[in-house]
């Protein structure tokens, strides 16, 4: 039996997302990187040459002037990844898209298009959007509450999966002699009527080589974990300490099994920002330099506001007790906001102290010479904290340092692939191809069991 192996994905920073406040100033980073498709193609091709599983692109649909540099001016993920698809052949392409601010038919069609363009390499990171200001960009008075957003997300995924099964795999005989392009018995309407959506279907696009895009999710709350156990095939986990990562990993796998699914068919990725140097001391010095480059109190204060619906904390006295903003948590990032409020109350912290603590220096375990970083990755992997790492590097040079120094060590230890085993994202992640529900029904097979 072959040894279990690590999955690696790449999360490009552009000119700097949350916490990377000084990245745009780095002379190695083009000031228009976040809107330059060549930047993404270059990184994607480097990741593919290293045999990574996927390129992961984040997104949001609300900004103000205090938002991170990358958020202010960036490409729409599905458009971006469709372009990247034509310059890669094996790398998975995972786009973030909101279930709160999209319609199922339209998004299902766009994701299916990426899946076909890429030959079966598309993934969808389902988010419910915690930026409350997004509602005003869609003509709504206010952002949906937490429970409603997750209920909508679950139904959204169910509808999308139903639409992706509109055509059976043999729906297009294209038989000239019989004058039969489509076999109409292989085309199916959805006729979904639910709490949040009414969608007739069918979708006017066929299935890809991997059947359907891979569903990713990043929930930490009780609702998020329950949602993941029901429908997710990949998870972007919160990370934290080794013990915290172990606890989260075990909880998700347990919930997945309880939902009647195979726990091996949900891949948990933790975030990792390795810093690789010639020596451990050199890497640690660089880690400190990165913190110093990004340590901007004003930006950290603005970043704190995102968990509370882009709330402007600058209107408060910084040295007074943390303000009472609990009412903003329900329609924002409830899990993170609640944790901030509870800690501030428990430790009697001022607003300044909360903002400083959120931007404080935290060591990452994946820092050091190549052997040191590889050792840490192996320790965490064998301890049952992740199936994969969603890697983020500030520059192309730092990605190359990891690929050239750490990846060969992981390969020698049998922890990372030496070649791609599939042309699809599902294949490389070891996930099953979902059986078309209509074909399964005709054969008397439970499609949900086959795909779980």
CB proximity list for 329: less than 8 A, separation 6 or greater: 307, 308, 337, 338, 341
**Sequence-distant (≥ 6) Cβ neighbours of residue 222 within 8 angstroms:** none
277, 285, 372, 400 from 281: Cα distances, Å: 8, 6, 11, 19
User: Cβ distance 330 to 62 under 8 Å?
Assistant: no
Residue 249 marked as a ligand binder: no
Sequence-distant (6+) residues with CB within 8 A of 443 are none
The annotation status of 294 as a binding-site residue, yes or no, is no
Burial of 227 (0-12, 13-18, 19+ CB in 10 A): buried
Cα end-to-end span (Å), the chain = 22
Q: Which two tokens stand for residue 426?
A: 């599902």
Q: What is the DSSP letter of 33?
A: G
State yes or no: 146 annotated in a binding site: no
The two structure tokens encoding residue 28:
């190695």
Classify residue 369 by its DSSP letter: S
Pairing of strands 275-276, 367-368: parallel
B/e letters for 73-83, b = 16+ CB within 10 Å, e = fewer, are ebbebbebbbb
- The answer to whether 59 is annotated as binding is yes
Measure the CA–CA gap between 200 and 275, rounded to whole angstroms: 50
Q: Binding site for FMN: what residues are annotated?
A: 59, 96, 150, 221
In the annotated binding site, the residues are 59, 96, 150, 221
């Amino acid at each position: 039996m072959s040894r279990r192996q690590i999955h690696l994905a790449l999360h490009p920073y552009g000119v700097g997302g949350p916490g990377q406040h000084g990245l745009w100033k780095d002379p190695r980073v083009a000031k228009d990187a976040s809107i330059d498709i060549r930047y993404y193609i270059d990184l994607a091709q480097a990741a593919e040459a290293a045999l990574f599983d996927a390129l992961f692109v984040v997104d949001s649909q609300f900004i103000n002037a205090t938002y991170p540099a990358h958020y202010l001016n960036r490409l729409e993920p599905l458009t971006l990844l469709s372009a990247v698809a034509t310059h890669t052949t094996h790398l998975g392409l995972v786009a973030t898209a909101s279930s709160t601010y999209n319609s199922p038919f339209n998004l299902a069609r766009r994701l299916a298009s990426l899946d076909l363009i890429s030959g079966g390499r598309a993934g969808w990171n389902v988010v419910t959007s915690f930026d409350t200001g997004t509602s005003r960009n869609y003509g709504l008075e206010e952002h949906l509450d937490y429970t409603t957003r997750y209920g909508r997300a679950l139904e959204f995924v169910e509808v999308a999966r139903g639409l992706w099964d509109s055509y059976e795999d043999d729906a297009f005989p294209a038989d000239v002699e019989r004058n039969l392009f489509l076999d109409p018995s292989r085309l199916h309407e959805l006729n979904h009527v639910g709490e949040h959506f009414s969608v007739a279907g069918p979708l006017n696009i066929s299935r890809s080589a991997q059947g359907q895009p891979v569903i990713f999710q990043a929930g930490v709350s009780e609702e998020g974990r329950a949602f993941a156990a029901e429908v997710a095939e990949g998870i972007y986990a919160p990370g934290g300490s080794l013990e915290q990562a172990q606890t989260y990993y075990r909880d998700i796998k347990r919930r997945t099994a309880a939902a009647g699914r195979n726990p091996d068919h949900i891949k948990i990725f933790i975030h990792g920002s390795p810093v690789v140097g010639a020596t451990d001391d050199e890497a640690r010095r660089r880690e400190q330099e990165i913190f110093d480059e990004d340590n901007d109190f004003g930006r950290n204060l603005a970043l704190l506001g995102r968990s509370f619906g882009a709330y402007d904390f600058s209107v408060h006295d910084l040295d007074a007790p943390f303000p009472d903003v609990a009412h903003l948590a329900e329609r924002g990032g409830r899990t993170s906001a609640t944790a901030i409020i509870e800690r501030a109350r428990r430790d009697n912290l001022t607003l300044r102290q909360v903002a400083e603590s959120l931007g404080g220096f935290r060591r990452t375990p994946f820092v050091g010479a190549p052997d040191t970083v590889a050792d840490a990755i192996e320790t965490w992997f064998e301890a049952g904290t992740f199936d994969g790492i969603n890697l983020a590097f500030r520059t192309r040079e730092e990605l190359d340092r990891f690929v050239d120094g750490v990846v060969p060590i992981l390969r020698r230890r049998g922890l990372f692939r030496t070649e791609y085993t599939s042309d699809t994202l599902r294949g490389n992640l070891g996930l099953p191809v979902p059986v078309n529900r209509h074909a399964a029904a005709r054969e008397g097979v439970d499609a949900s069991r086959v795909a779980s």
